[in-house]
């Protein structure tokens, strides 16, 4: 599918409140072998997500340690997580220490997932992911670990205001760029 048709389809799925505000843009360099082109999503004519550049206004994490030490990152710990730590521990451990160990373990897993999603986005092919979004159910895109699929689903008109409001806890575990588009849609 050509870029213009793909762009037209993506923009036809935009929420009415974001129509004209969010735009999908792509450039390509036909005669330069080392340049494959860029794709970006802009909000109010300002590039917010550039697929090939980490100098975005949204914070990109450089290491797992940054993610684990981020005070704004919320990681819920369930009783099952504490029990898993208790079973692997050798000897008795105070309850408050078990919570810290469980949170640290979940933060490490979450950091690895977030770094993988971020790395996949910087080298991904926007058109491939956009075609995947157009052919899969909206629920699959919302639950995906792929940052781009999350963003496309959040600005989609098929996701209602009630569903957006019910996703607030789930979004706290997503990448900051996904959180940005969630807030954009929620406030629109």
Lowest mean pLDDT among 21-35, 71-85, 166-180: 21-35
Average pLDDT over residues 116-125: 60
Q: What percent of the chain has pLDDT over 90?
A: 23
Residue boundaries of the structural domains of the chain: 64-117
Q: 101 CB contacts (<8 Å, ≥6 apart)?
A: 85, 89, 93
Q: How far apart are CA 113 and CA 149, in angstroms?
A: 15
- Cβ of 153: how many Cβ atoms within 10 Å? 25
The pTM (predicted TM-score) of the whole model is: 0.71
pLDDT score for 123: 40
Cβ pair 133, 141 in contact under 8 A: yes
Which region among 24-33, 129-138, 146-155 has the lowest average model confidence (pLDDT)? 24-33
Query: For 1-63, where are the alpha helices, taking DSSP H only?
Result: 3-12
Cα 158 from Cα 129, distance rounded (Å):
18
Give tens-digit pLDDT for 38-72: 778 889 988 888 765 555 555 667 777 787 777 77
Which 3-state string (H, E, C) describes 115-176? HHHHHHHHCCCHHHHHHHHHHCCHHHHHHCCCHHHHHHHHCECCCCHHHHHHCHHHHCCCCH
pLDDT computed for residue 121 by the predictor = 59
């Amino acid at each position: 599918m050509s870029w213009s048709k793909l762009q037209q389809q993506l923009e036809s799925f935009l929420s009415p409140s974001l129509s004209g505000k969010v735009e999908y843009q792509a450039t390509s360099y036909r005669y330069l072998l080392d340049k494959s082109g860029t794709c970006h999503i802009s909000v109010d004519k300002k590039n917010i997500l550039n697929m090939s550049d980490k100098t975005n206004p949204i914070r990109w994490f450089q290491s797992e340690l940054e993610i684990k030490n981020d005070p704004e990152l919320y990681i819920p710990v369930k009783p099952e997580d504490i029990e898993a730590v208790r079973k692997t521990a050798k000897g008795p451990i105070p309850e408050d220490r078990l919570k810290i160990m469980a949170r640290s373990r979940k933060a490490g897993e979450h950091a690895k997932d977030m770094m993988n999603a971020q790395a996949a986005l910087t080298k991904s092919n926007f058109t491939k992911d956009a075609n995947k979004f157009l052919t899969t159910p909206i629920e699959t895109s919302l639950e995906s670990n792929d940052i781009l699929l999350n963003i496309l689903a959040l600005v989609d008109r098929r996701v209602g205001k009630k569903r957006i409001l019910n996703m607030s806890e789930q979004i706290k575990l997503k990448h900051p760029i996904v959180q940005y588009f969630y807030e954009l849609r929620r406030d629109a």
